[in-house]
Amino acid sequence: MSRLLSLIVPFYNEAEAIDRFCEAVLPVLDQIPGTRWEIICVDDGSTDTTLLHLIALSQRDPRFCIIEFSRNFGKEAALTAGINAARGDALIPIDADLQDPPALIADMVAAWQQGAEVVLARRTDRASDGVLKRQSAAWFYRLHNRVSKTKIPENVGDFRLMDRCVADALKQLPERQRFMKGLFAWVGFRTVTLDYARAPRAAGATKFSGLALWNFALEGITSFSTLPLKIWTYLGAVGALGSMLYALFIILRTLLSGSVVPGYASTFVAVLFFGSVQLMSIGLLGEYIGRIYLETKQRPTYLIRKIHGDVG
Ligand code: UDP
Ligand code: MG
């Protein structure tokens, strides 16, 4: 009895990459012994001809199923939709731009057949990713793992293999704001890690601007840690203590020397300092309150316009 592999591929304006993706991936899938495969393509509201290409693919080969979103909901939503739809015994999210080497799928499946429930793919070489992106990624992982109990393995993207039991666990998580890297790490399970070198994009340009990555990092940290909320309590306490000591010092000095110093500069500095600390902490509270607000609305993570082909 052969087991079913489900590839989950998010597509956002990837028309140029589709043919190359299939050329690279299909031979690998066909050669893995003891398995059948399906490919769940999620069209994340592409505005180019991506959807037409994908539909044509699914008409030629019924092993392709296309989930068409009503608009762009983002990669996290696309992955969630793919995981919900996949029927495989193992699920593999993979990028459409061939930055995740398809050849690694064979090794992942081998590790899975030997009993691993999660097979991670770790990038050993991010040379294809500009200095700034690499450095900011390194800082993000360090900060995140320091402030959050859920440790995200460094340099591991969404490209991985998950057993059916892991996918079922993910489907139970009710949150709408889905930071997939964090959720993947949160569910746990028996994990094996493989290394690979990150290739440059096969075609097109990255879909994540600097600002998008900044928001993504903020989302990651506020989704999995409340430490940023606590920092301000301590900072406030230290500030309050400091200003009380300073007040005491001024009183003593006035009593001893009697001199009245026109201290407008220090007053001004203190007002500005504490004003900005308060603004920052209000902003931080806002970040979490915004999250609570979005969750309470209970809106779905994504909307599907149409499903092309046979999806579970
Ligand atoms: N993607 C998506 N929705 C988006 C942005 C990206 O589905 O809003 C897909 C994109 O088509 C690609 C994958 O997510 O298959 C990774 O995107 P990209 O290569 O731009 O990210 P990077 O590799 O630069 O981090
Ligand atoms: Mg990419």
Give 135-147 pLDDT, tens digit per residue: 888 888 888 888 8
Residue 32 CB–ligand 1 contact under 6 Å: no
pLDDT at 264: 65
Residue 279: per-residue pLDDT: 80
Asked if 172 and 94 sit in the same domain, the reply is yes
Which residue range is the domain that position 238 belongs to? Answer: 227-297
Q: How far is the CA of 151 from the centre of ligand 1 (A)?
A: 23
Do 168 and 118 share a domain, yes or no? yes
> Is residue 188 domain-resident?
yes
Domain shared by 162 and 262, yes or no: no
Q: Is the CB of 82 under 6 A from ligand 1?
A: no
> Which two three-digit tokens encode residue 290?
């915004």
User: In a mutational test of the pocket of ligand 1, which residue from 97, 140, 181, 219 has the highest number of ligand atoms less than 8 Å from its CB?
Assistant: 97
> For the chain (length 312 residues), average pLDDT per consecutive 10?
90 90 90 90 92 91 92 92 93 90 91 91 78 83 83 84 93 83 84 82 75 82 79 79 82 79 71 79 84 83 87 64
Q: Which ligand places an atom closest to the C-alpha of 75?
A: 1
Joined together, the tokens standing for residue 157 give 């993207």
Q: Give the pLDDT score at 71.
A: 93
CA distance 241 to 49: 62
Q: What is the pLDDT of residue 41?
A: 94
Ligand 1 pocket: which of 158, 207, 219 to mutate (most atoms within 8 A of CB) = 207
Output the CA 13–ligand 1 centroid distance in Å: 9
Q: Is residue 260 one of the residues assigned to a domain?
A: yes
CATH of the domain at 24: 3.90.550.10
183 CA to centre of ligand 2 in angstroms: 20
Ion ligand 2 nearby residues (CB, 5 A)? 97, 99
- From residue 154, give the alpha-carbon distance in Å to each of 31, 41, 166, 199, 221: 30, 27, 20, 17, 14
Q: Which two tokens stand for residue 312?
A: 């579970």
CB 232 within 8 A of CB 276: no
Residues 62 and 148 in one domain: yes
Query: Which ligand has its closest atom nearest to the C-alpha of 206?
Result: 1
Co-location of 29 and 94 in the same domain: yes
> Is the separation of the CB atoms in 31 and 106 below 8 Å?
yes
Structure confidence at residue 265 (pLDDT)? 65
For residue 211, the model assigns a pLDDT of: 81
Please indicate, yes or no, whether residues 41 and 140 belong to a single structural domain of this protein: yes
In a domain, residue 289? The reply is yes
Q: How far is the CA of 66 from the centre of ligand 2 (A)?
A: 20
| Stated pTM of the model | 0.74
Residues 9 and 117 in one domain: yes
- Specify the pLDDT at position 263: 73
Whether residues 181 and 247 fall in one domain = no
Q: pLDDT per residue over 20-47, tens digit each?
A: 899 999 999 988 888 899 999 999 999 9
Alpha helices in the chain (DSSP H): 15-31, 50-60, 75-85, 103-113, 131-147, 164-172, 180-187, 210-224, 227-257, 264-296
Same domain for 237 and 137? no
Looking at the fold, whether 274 and 290 belong to one and the same domain comes out as yes
Assess whether 252 and 198 both reside in one domain: no
Q: What is the gyration radius of the CA atoms in the chain, in angstroms?
A: 25
- Ligand closest to Cα of 50 equals 1
Q: Is 43 in the pocket of ligand 1 (CB under 6 A)?
A: no
| pLDDT score for 240 | 78
44 Cβ inside 6 Å of ligand 1: yes
Nearest CA to ligand 1 atom 24: 206
Asked if residue 197 and residue 249 are part of one domain, the reply reads: no
For the chain, the domain total comes to: 2
